Chains A and B, each alone.
Chain A
């Protein structure tokens, strides 16, 4: 089967393709991907992504490589650990570090969603299998969890040796792991917590919450270490921090570039690079780092030359997350003249607000999780969104309301009201599913998106006229 053209398009070198060919043949066979799929994927990549940017192409290649790794892991004698999205506390990262070459620690549904979904458009049968086995359709159940169950039960990915479970952010993730544990007898480590922070507390944190979360994470580490037979030491942690902080520096630099007018790249492309830290194993991580290190100067060059997918002066919005399986939503926004320079999940302002007085490693990690905002609660999401409006000179907010995400689905109306009242900027709330595009149609959103673009442009023009008059 000829997949060289696709892989080269996705940043693979000839030598890498030659070296990995037996693995690729085997993995694509297990995944049921044939010549037609390769051709379709090639067309989808060209249509959906900014292939002038090698950093974006390389990132797509890392996702494909990551998918091959997880599909073949057990056949290659590796031990396999799955963690959920959003990941908690760096444990998955440090397990990747200590088990280098022997343990593969990944978020498989995230890898499959991008590689098999966004690139190959072959995720629907996996979603359907997940629905048939455990999580029925029409009941507001998360697509990511359906992918996890569907892929395991269909034999697309192996049954893991350990599950790192948490119901802290979403009860469904924990319940999905519980299902897998019951059916396959997989050991698990559970790290729990609740989002019961008082409104108005953020950006301060209650130290007791930090200590409690740290204790949960610490006991999780100990339990995982016992099951895997590895005890993470200081060197492991510093190797983890070193690698991930380099990646995060890349994210910070790309965020700086996205503050330019026009932003140099579509957010749909950036997201696929940034999310590499949320799913890929340590073994592939040097390639992920290479992708972002390639992308950063490419973006800077575009900024210096005033190049971007939209004209200078286009309205700018922040989105929480753009559906990654379906690039057409992000492109609909661009066609309506709206730039998305930042998403909540990529915004890194929290790093400047960290308190250095926390002594233990677990407390420091717990603090990071809570300061990011997602694990703190809706008031924290609002806090960072408002900060992003200032930082990125935004004209509006796009709230991609995930109808099947239990922690997020209830907040749309409330979020819109709070932002519109406090910041006096428009909010467009769109009902989507970030991981399953069977339940919405990008086309059906065209009217709302076009109107929103028109509204933002009119407001921006009015403000510019007023400024001139003054």
Chain B
């Protein structure tokens, strides 16, 4: 049984294809200007090797901020539910998921079956999300993928006190002008993100094991500061960006098994 999960996020669109419960393909592409275009492309990418078309999927479930904009989807499910489901599939011992994506961040409590039991999500502010890191990478002229490794070289992370992306940008520019090293600045940025995530998630709690998903989970600096604050190692899936799409695909499979039309 072929099913597909699509996660249309603010920064990237992801597709995961399951065949009889086994992941056979996935793809991650920038969302860009058009949700429909991004969906078509990511599906084309994911299905190319398999020589499949949309008609071959017995069910498609979408998630992410663009989830309601996909005309051929059978169901749209919030990304919080999908991240819990996906994380539970890959990391069954996880009872908390920290998901930091391009536009939002969440702390999710889940049970042993991958059901959400509590959650908290950031409000309209971009501070503490992938977008925040993107802005800072651009200000510091550092490729996004190098940010994590650079911050690990810091001996003394700066204190970035602003909780707003715009104000923090000014703060970083000012600190750079005083001669602060890029490493210390980046480490300060990552420490700030970790600190905001911990504060936000306090009402849910960080019960072990804690998984870290979303694009920002690839950033070793943020991971390190989160681990220090929580006091335990975070479980990071091999490809943390596709967990929402994987969860959507798993729900598609469950729907099909339960006879949903």
Q: Which of A271-279, A344-352, A445-453 contacts B (4 or more CB under 8 A)?
A: A445-453
A416-B203, A440-B124, A444-B124 known; A451 vs B65 contact (CB < 8 Å) = no
Interfacial chain A residues near B57, Cβ < 8 Å: none
Q: Which residue of B lies closest to A444 (CB)?
A: B124
B124 and A426 contacting across the interface, CB-CB below 8 Å: no
Interfacial chain B residues near A447, Cβ < 8 Å: 65, 78-80, 104, 121
Interfacial chain A residues near B123, Cβ < 8 Å: 431
Q: Which residue of A lies closest to B123 (CB)?
A: A431
Interfacial chain B residues near A458, Cβ < 8 Å: 115-116
Q: Which of B197-220 touch A at CB < 8 Å?
A: 203
How far, in whole Å, are A448 and B68 apart by their CA atoms in the complex? Answer: 15
Q: Is A454 an interface residue (CB 8 A)?
A: yes
Q: Is A230 an interface residue (CB 8 A)?
A: no
Q: Is B161 an interface residue (CB 8 A)?
A: no
Q: Is A417 an interface residue (CB 8 A)?
A: yes
Interfacial chain B residues near A455, Cβ < 8 Å: 115-119
How far, in whole Å, are A119 and B65 apart by their CA atoms in the complex? Answer: 29
A426-B118, A431-B124, A444-B124 known; A451 vs B203 contact (CB < 8 Å) = no
B203 and A417 contacting across the interface, CB-CB below 8 Å: yes
Interfacial chain A residues near B124, Cβ < 8 Å: 431, 440-441, 444
Q: Is B81 an interface residue (CB 8 A)?
A: yes
- A-facing mask of B90-123, CB < 8 A → 1, else 0? 0000000000000010000000000111110101
B115 and A451 contacting across the interface, CB-CB below 8 Å: no
A431-B124, A448-B121 known; A454 vs B203 contact (CB < 8 Å) = no
Q: Shortest distance in angstroms between B188's beta carbon and chain A's nearest beta carbon? A: 26
Q: Is A413 an interface residue (CB 8 A)?
A: yes
Q: What size tier do the contact residues of chain A reach? A: 10 to 19
How many residues of B are counted as interface, with CB atoms below 8 angstroms from the partner's CB atoms?
Answer: 17
A413 and B203 contacting across the interface, CB-CB below 8 Å: yes
With beta carbons under 8 angstroms apart, the residue of B65, B81, B104 that contacts A454 is B81
Interfacial chain B residues near A451, Cβ < 8 Å: 78, 80-81, 116, 119
Interfacial chain A residues near B118, Cβ < 8 Å: 420, 426, 455
Q: Which of A413-470 touch B at CB < 8 Å?
A: 413, 416-417, 420, 426, 431, 440-441, 444, 446-448, 450-451, 454-455, 458
Q: Which residue of B lies closest to A403 (CB)?
A: B123
Q: Which residue, of A431, A441, A450, has the highest number of chain B Cβ atoms within 10 A? A: A450
Q: Which residue, of A413, A446, A448, has the highest number of chain B Cβ atoms within 10 A? A: A448
- B-facing mask of A399-419, CB < 8 A → 1, else 0? 000000000000001001100
Q: Shortest distance in angstroms between B118's beta carbon and chain A's nearest beta carbon? A: 7
Q: Shortest distance in angstroms between A439's beta carbon and chain B's nearest beta carbon? A: 8
Q: Which residue of A lies closest to B121 (CB)?
A: A448
Q: Shortest distance in angstroms between B68's beta carbon and chain A's nearest beta carbon? A: 8
How far, in whole Å, are A458 and B81 apart by their CA atoms in the complex? Answer: 12
Interfacial chain A residues near B81, Cβ < 8 Å: 450-451, 454
Q: Which residue of B lies closest to A413 (CB)?
A: B203
B203 and A450 contacting across the interface, CB-CB below 8 Å: no
Q: Shortest distance in angstroms between A239's beta carbon and chain B's nearest beta carbon? A: 47
How far, in whole Å, are A130 and B187 apart by their CA atoms in the complex? Answer: 43
- B-facing mask of A309-343, CB < 8 A → 1, else 0? 00000000000000000000000000000000000
Q: Shortest distance in angstroms between A449's beta carbon and chain B's nearest beta carbon? A: 9
Interfacial chain A residues near B116, Cβ < 8 Å: 451, 454-455, 458
How far, in whole Å, are A432 and B238 apart by their CA atoms in the complex? Answer: 37
Q: Shortest distance in angstroms between A324's beta carbon and chain B's nearest beta carbon? A: 20
Q: Which residue of B lies closest to A452 (CB)?
A: B119
Interfacial chain B residues near A450, Cβ < 8 Å: 77-78, 81
Interfacial chain A residues near B65, Cβ < 8 Å: 447
Q: Which residue of B lies closest to A454 (CB)?
A: B81
- A-facing mask of B61-101, CB < 8 A → 1, else 0? 00001001000000001111100000000000000000000
How far, in whole Å, are A420 and B109 apart by their CA atoms in the complex? Answer: 14
Q: Which residue, of B78, B116, B117, has the highest number of chain A Cβ atoms within 10 A? A: B78
Q: Which residue of B lies closest to A336 (CB)?
A: B78
How far, in whole Å, are A408 and B79 apart by their CA atoms in the complex? Answer: 29
How far, in whole Å, are A368 and B203 apart by their CA atoms in the complex? Answer: 34
Q: Which residue of B lies closest to A448 (CB)?
A: B121
Interfacial chain B residues near A446, Cβ < 8 Å: 68, 78
Interfacial chain A residues near B203, Cβ < 8 Å: 413, 416-417
Interfacial chain B residues near A413, Cβ < 8 Å: 203
Q: Shortest distance in angstroms between A417's beta carbon and chain B's nearest beta carbon? A: 6
How far, in whole Å, are A137 and B242 apart by their CA atoms in the complex? Answer: 39
Interfacial chain A residues near B119, Cβ < 8 Å: 448, 451, 455
Q: Which residue of A lies closest to B118 (CB)?
A: A426
**B binding-site residues for A, Cβ under 8 Å:** 65, 68, 77-81, 104, 115-119, 121, 123-124, 203
Given A448-B121, A451-B78, A454-B116, 13 more pairs with CB closer than 8 A: A416-B203, A426-B118, A431-B123, A446-B68, A446-B78, A447-B65, A447-B78, A447-B80, A448-B119, A450-B81, A451-B80, A451-B81, A458-B116
| A–B pairs, 26, beta carbons within 8 Å | A413-B203, A417-B203, A420-B118, A440-B124, A441-B124, A446-B78, A447-B65, A447-B79, A447-B80, A447-B104, A448-B78, A448-B80, A448-B119, A450-B77, A450-B78, A451-B78, A451-B80, A451-B81, A451-B116, A451-B119, A454-B77, A454-B78, A454-B81, A455-B117, A455-B119, A458-B115
The 7 A-B residue pairs with the shortest CB-CB distance, nearest first, are A451-B80, A450-B78, A451-B78, A431-B123, A447-B78, A455-B116, A454-B81
